Amino acid sequence: MQQGATNLIVFQDKYSTEEACREHLFCLRWPSGYTCPRCGHNKYSYHSTRRLYQCKSCKYQVSVTAGTVFHRTRIPLRKWFWMIFLMGRQKNGISMLSLKRMLEIKSYKTIWLMGHKIRHAMAHRDSYYKLAGLVEMDDTYIGSKKSGIRGRGARGKSKVVVAVENIKNKPGYAKMERVENLKGKTISCAFDNHLEGETVLRTDSCRSYNALISGQRKHQPVNVSAGEDPLFFLPWVHMLISNVKSNIIGTYHGVSIKHIARYLSEFCYRFNRRFWENQMFDRILNACLNCKTITFTELSQ
């Protein structure tokens, strides 16, 4: 992937009009030139007033945003572009209230929905990856600002299972899932599809993780009774738990149980691409172009 616009001045110049934004989406959606979504033909005519591409073979008309996260949006693409740029470039994410003010979006509901649409695309993109090799796993409570009894959680908080690859003592890819409880069956449902066959799960001895073990997968619990220190053997999962908690409280001032999964996806998406900061904008745009949108009604269910 090419290096995108990496600073504010270049970004502002490059995407200063709706047309420039649309052209960029066109290049990302059809990198080898236009292809009709219905018949695969590659010749088209452009209807500038309705901003539709019409296939010269089957006459099918399509907009560059049809079937994507931007489907039927009334928000200018320039505002979407800035939002994605800022969400991708801020290490700890950015609050929706700040974005509402910066982008002059009238209602909080609108910016809230835009944020969740982008997070939904991030989650969809990361669902293609599986964790492999040595994987550290642990669970925690995340959510509201209220402090609870240590290790027992509190009202308004979600139980979250965190997994991260440990590659030669460096963190690799990470996944986080909200779970209802820590029963083996629940953990298996949430994580079985996130793990490759040949995986060694290192945990702090919670037996529920055994439910993920089958075939060539192995469980390597830390032997606390033999004096092994979980913090030493599970360094990266503890680092991630600490970071995601301060991110959710610091940037978002706590999030509701109902929507926490998408905030966790946003955190993991940024973490998993921390070495490609300069490509973040185009990567998120690509994720948004390759994902069906989610509506307010679907989010409210």
Residues contributing to the site for Zn ion (CB under 5 A): 36, 38-39, 41, 55, 57-58, 60
Smallest distance, Zn ion to C-beta of residue 45, A: 12
Judged by CB, which is closer to Zn ion: 57, or 220? 57
Distance of closest approach, residue 62 Cβ to Zn ion, in angstroms:
9
User: How many alpha carbons fall within 13 Å on the CB side of residue 257?
Assistant: 10
Q: Minimum CB separation from Zn ion for residue 106, in Å?
A: 38
Distance, in Å, from the CA atom of 274 to the CA atom of 280, rounded to the nearest integer, reads 9
Using the minimum distance from each CB to Zn ion, give the nearer residue, 22 or 41. Answer: 41
Is-contact 289 28, C-beta < 8 A? yes
CB closer to Zn ion out of 56 and 109: 56
CB of 43 to Zn ion, least distance (A): 9
- Count of helix runs (H) and strand runs (E) in the chain: 11, 8
**Which of 66, 299 has the CB closer to Zn ion?**
66
Q: How far is the CB of 61 from Zn ion (least distance, A)?
A: 10
Nearer to Zn ion, 41 or 259 (CB): 41
Spatial separation of the C-alpha atoms in residues 177 and 122, rounded to whole Å? 14
Is 7 within 8 Å of 281 (Cβ atoms)? Answer: no
Question: Among candidates 86, 88, 267, 223, which has minimal Cα distance to 97?
Answer: 86
Q: Least separation, in Å, of the C-beta of 67 and Zn ion?
A: 15
Q: Rank residues 53 and 191 by Cβ distance to Zn ion and give the closer one.
A: 53
**Which residue number, 45 or 90, has a Cβ lying nearer to Zn ion?**
45
- The pair of three-digit structure tokens given for residue 78, joined into one six-digit string: 């320039």
30-to-35, 38, 117 alpha-carbon distances in Å: 7, 14, 22
Least Cβ distance, residue 127 to Zn ion (angstroms): 30
265 touches 119 (CB < 8 A): yes
Give the span between the Cα atoms of 23 and 7, in whole angstroms.
20
Closest by alpha carbon to 244, among 157, 121, 125? 157
At 296, which helix (H) or strand (E)? helix 296-300
